[in-house]
Every structure is written in C-alpha cells, then in structure tokens.
Amino acid sequence: MGEKQQWSNEHIKCLLETRIEEINNVGKKGLSLHKDLWNKLGIVLKDKFGMVLTQKQMKNAFDNLKAKYVGWLYLKNKTGNLYNAQTNTFTLMNEEWEEFKKGHPKAGSLKTVPLPFPDLCAALFDGNSATGSMKWTSSQTTSVVGSFSCQRVQQLLITDSIFHDIEDDADNSHQNSEPTPDPTADTHEVEANGTASDREYMTRLRDEIAEQLMQNMDS
C-alpha cells in the first residue's frame, strides 16, 4: 500500500503560491486539468524540499486543503463572532463542533489546527480576499447570498479528510516518506476518482443547496 505524505506549512505555502502563479499565467478555467501544472509543482517541491510525489498525492493534498478552506469559510461567516482573527481560530462549544462535523465531516481538524495561509487559500480557491458571502445554517448546508451562485458553491465542495496540516489520503502515515513518482498518471483519471461516500456527501449537499435556492426564489 502507499504511504501518506505529511505536509508542513512551508510545503503548503509552496503549493498555494505555485497554483496561484499558474492561474495568473494560464487562467483559472480548466486549470485543474492542466497536466503541466502538476509536473511543475512536483519539480518545485523536489527542488525546494526534496519531496518526491506522485501526481495523485499532490492532487489529494490540494483537494484536502480546499475542503478545509470551505469549512473555514462556513464557520467564519456564521453569526455570533466565532472567529478570532489574531489566532485564526474559532470559539465553539464541543457540542457545536460535533454539530458542525455532521455537515462537514472532512473539516473537523479546524477544531485544533487552524487553516494555514487563509489569504492565499482565498486567492486560489475563491479568487478574493479571505472573506465570503456564505453562511452556515443549522442543517449545515450552504446558503447562497450576495454574489455567490449555486455553481460557484458547488465548485468549492471538494472532499477533505481529517488531517494535521494536510496529507494525501493513502492508508499509512510517515513523516519522511518519499513515494516514487508516477509520470504516467492521467490527470483526467485523477480528477474523476473519489470514494462512494465522497460522492454521496457532495450529492446530498448539492441537493440541499438547490432546495434552498428554490426557497429563496419563492420567498
């Protein structure tokens, strides 16, 4: 079986900055299918940190970070002054965390591990500063207000795993593992992969979002 790759904050920052640079160069549309991006990111990570990663490992780390940003954004826009900007943490009771994780089971690490580099995450995943117009409802679904559209919300709903910083989603975890590269990996196949639970979770959220949009239009 494969090995998990632990990602430090410096690794994460490198990933974010490299992706943002590519957006500036080639544009955001279709960027996830831009195979040269993963090749470039792999070269940068190897040169800077000696990390030898497969395309799938890099893609997993990217998706995990994106999902953590989605959970962070939900909580940040929840009413009640939960967010402490100085520490980048949230003030919730244990019961509230448990309720949050029911709707966002893949972002539970926010309770103990803050989102790294929120401004860079917002610039990459949302194209804005670290603010948003999404709010967290009691049913843990996404309400669309302001400039957010249903399509935009769905683009953010990428699955995550409970992690310290971020790591890929193989079975084992080792701090200094160096998996062998997989130069023949097909980007389209990587994009299409996902567990049944991930697909079920995204389908449920998409249906709930659509239902809320219809309710907003009727009101």
3-state secondary structure at position 95? helix
Average model confidence (pLDDT) for the chain? Answer: 70
Predicted TM-score (pTM) of this structure: 0.58
* Nearest CA-CA partner of 7 in 55, 66, 43, 61: 61
Query: What is the average pLDDT across 135-146?
Result: 34
pLDDT one-digit tens code per residue, 13-70: 999 999 898 888 776 655 555 678 889 999 999 999 999 999 999 999 999 899 999 9
For residue 67, what is the enclosing H or E element? helix 55-76
Instruction: Give mean pLDDT, residues 154-174.
Output: 40
**Mean pLDDT over residues 93-119, rounded?**
90
**Distance (Å, whole) CA 107 – CA 104:** 6
Please list, residue by residue across 13-45, b when 16 or more beta carbons sit within 10 angstroms of its beta carbon and e when fewer do.
ebbbebbeebbeeeeeeeebebeebbebbbebb
Q: Which of the residue ranges 10-14, 80-84, 94-98 would you say has the lowest mean pLDDT? A: 80-84
The domain locations on the chain are 3-218
Question: Which has the closest alpha carbon to 18: 51, 49, 43?
Answer: 43
Q: What is the CA radius of gyration of the chain?
A: 17
